[in-house]
């Protein structure tokens, strides 16, 4: 429960709590976080701190985190989670359902299942509902949907959000250049992205944000310098409008 709560806190609060926790507490928390949430936290931490924390993770979690951090920021590869259920296309529905039961606790979502061939190439998708309703003896290749909607690891996160929104998905699979399945992006991650991007757009339109600088992190003189051009334009426009009205 503590881990789930921690994952939903603001990044700033997560960093504050890390400074207050003991070394063992930090290790326990980071090791049990979802890989995508952990990578998002590491993105915000100083590189020196990340270098100290990475070796404290278990080998499996360290490898998963290093994989995500190896992709460019703001791409599907950076925000995806490797915790998903993949099924080989030569399995029967009964065998696939048994595999889902075994892996359900370790994956982020089980409502979408991804079918691959022997080389891990994505060949189809399957909903849990379709799997449950299929004849137990049927092969997955017979019941899966071969018209797969997917993104690649270098797709921009805004485009990933649009894909999920356009097709009304709970998650979208992420593939590499050879179309091998490497992860999924879930709808809750997309909601965070949309909120972040919308906030940045609003700030930029109002002249409140430029590049990586958040308006609320600026001091008085920096904020004034960013706003002065817009204020002068408004002052000139207001004066011009008032003059025209006075002459009517």
pLDDT in tens, the chain (248 residues): 888 888 888 888 998 888 888 888 888 889 999 899 899 899 888 888 898 889 889 999 999 999 999 999 999 999 999 999 999 999 999 999 999 999 998 888 899 999 999 999 999 999 999 999 999 999 999 999 999 999 999 999 999 999 998 999 999 999 999 999 999 999 988 887 777 777 666 666 655 555 555 555 566 666 666 667 777 888 888 888 888 888 76
pLDDT at 177: 93
pLDDT at 3: 84
Residue 175, CB-side half-sphere exposure with 13 Å CA sphere: 19
Residues 213 and 179 in one domain: no
How many folded domains does the chain comprise? 3
Residue 201 lies in a domain: no
pTM for this entry: 0.74
User: Which of residues 11, 37, 70 is at a domain's end?
Assistant: 70
Residues 49 and 115 in one domain: no
Both tokens of 243, joined, read 């003059």
Q: Domain range holding 239?
A: 208-246
Residue 230 lies in a domain: yes
Residues 95 and 35 in one domain: no
3 state SS of 81: strand
CATH number at residue 64: 1.25.60.10
pLDDT at 217: 58
Residue 139 lies in a domain: yes
Residue 203 lies in a domain: no
Residues 40 and 135 in one domain: no
Task: Give the C-alpha distances (Å, rounded to integers) separating 34 from 80, 109, 115, 148.
Answer: 10, 12, 23, 25
Residues 131 and 93 in one domain: yes
Residues 121 and 219 in one domain: no
Alpha helices in 70-113 (DSSP H): 76-79, 93-103
Q: Whole-angstrom Cα distance, residue 180 to residue 117? A: 9
Where does residue 8 rank: exposed (0-12), middle (13-18), buried (19+ CB within 10 A)?
Answer: exposed
Residues 141 and 179 in one domain: yes
Residue 220 lies in a domain: yes
Residue 198 lies in a domain: no
Residue 136 lies in a domain: yes
Q: Taking the chain, what is the end-to-end CA distance rounded to the nearest angstrom?
A: 68
């Amino acid at each position: 429960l503590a881990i789930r709560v921690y994952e939903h806190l603001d990044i700033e609060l997560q960093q504050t709590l890390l400074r207050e926790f003991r070394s063992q507490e930090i290790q326990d928390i980071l090791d049990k976080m979802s890989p995508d949430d952990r990578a998002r936290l590491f993105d915000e931490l100083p590189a020196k701190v990340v270098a100290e924390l990475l070796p404290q993770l278990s080998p499996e979690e360290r490898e998963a985190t290093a994989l995500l951090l190896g992709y460019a920021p703001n791409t599907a590869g950076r925000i995806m989670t490797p915790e998903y259920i993949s099924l080989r296309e030569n399995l029967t529905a009964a065998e696939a359902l048994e595999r889902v039961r075994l892996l359900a606790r370790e994956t982020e979502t089980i409502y979408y299942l991804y079918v691959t061939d022997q080389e891990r190439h994505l060949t189809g998708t399957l909903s849990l509902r379709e799997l449950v309703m299929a004849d137990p003896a049927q092969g997955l290749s017979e019941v899966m949907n071969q018209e797969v909607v997917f993104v690649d690891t270098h797709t921009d996160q805004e485009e990933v959000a649009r894909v999920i929104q356009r097709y009304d998905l709970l998650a979208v699979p992420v593939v590499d250049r050879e179309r091998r399945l490497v992860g999924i992006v879930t709808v809750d991650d997309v909601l965070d992205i949309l909120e972040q991007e919308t906030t940045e757009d609003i700030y930029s339109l109002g002249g409140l944000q430029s590049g990586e600088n958040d308006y609320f992190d600026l001091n008085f003189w920096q904020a004034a310098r960013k706003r002065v051009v817009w204020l002068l334009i408004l002052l000139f426009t207001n004066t011009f409008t008032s003059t025209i009205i006075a002459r009517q």
